[in-house]
Amino acid sequence: QVELRESGPGLVKPSETLSLTCAVSGGSISHYYWSWIRQPPGKGLEWIGYIYYTGSTNYNPSLKSRVTISLDAPRHHFSLIVTSVTAADTAVYYCARVKEAYYDGVIGPEAADVWGKGITVTVSS
């Protein structure tokens, strides 16, 4: 059974860089997309972006200038970096596995079938 576990600092200072890691256990990295989603307090879920196992990425345009998602397949983890954080980046951060599917013969992402339990990150001085 595949499990995902987020790790990283719970507190980050404004203007600094947030760095989170998601450890993948019990399954393969290949043929999946690996995604980050967050939920600010009192707000809905916000998709941050994903990385395909081949290394291609797709980011939410609202965060694209500050976000990088990377994949370390041999070590079975993927990471999120958010630069120049503000209080608006305070949220519960989730990592998720996204299935690949064929759409008219073209591979694309499907729904997130496995999620981590989330990690709370607070941006405050």
Partner 1 sequence: EIVLTQSPGTLSLSPGERVTLSCRASQIVNTMYIAWYQHKPGQAPRLLIFGSSRRPTDIPDRFIGSGSGTDFTLTIDRLEPEDFALYYCQQYGSSPWTFGRGTKVEIK
Q: Which is nearer to partner 1, 13 or 64 (CB)?
A: 64
- For the bound state, the minimum distance from the C-beta of residue 14 to partner 1, rounded and expressed in Å, comes to 25
Minimum distance of partner 1 from residue 113's CB (angstroms): 5
Please give the residue ranges that form the binding site for partner 1 (CB under 8 A): 4, 37, 44-47, 58, 60-62, 94, 96, 98-99, 103, 109-118
- Identify which of residues 21 and 60 has a Cβ nearer to partner 1 in the complex: 60
Q: Given the structure tokens 């079938």, which residue do they identify?
A: 113
Q: How far is the CB of 40 from partner 1 (least distance, A)?
A: 12
**For partner 1, the closer CB: 51 or 112:** 112
Q: Are 78 and 88 in contact (CB under 8 A)?
A: no
Rounded Cα distance between 113 and 100, Å, is 10
Tokens (6 digits) for 89: 């980046």
How would you label 91-117 residue by residue, b for 16+ Cβ within 10 Å and e otherwise?
bbbbbbbbeeeeeeeeeebeebebebe
Which one, 73 or 114, has the nearer CB to partner 1? 114
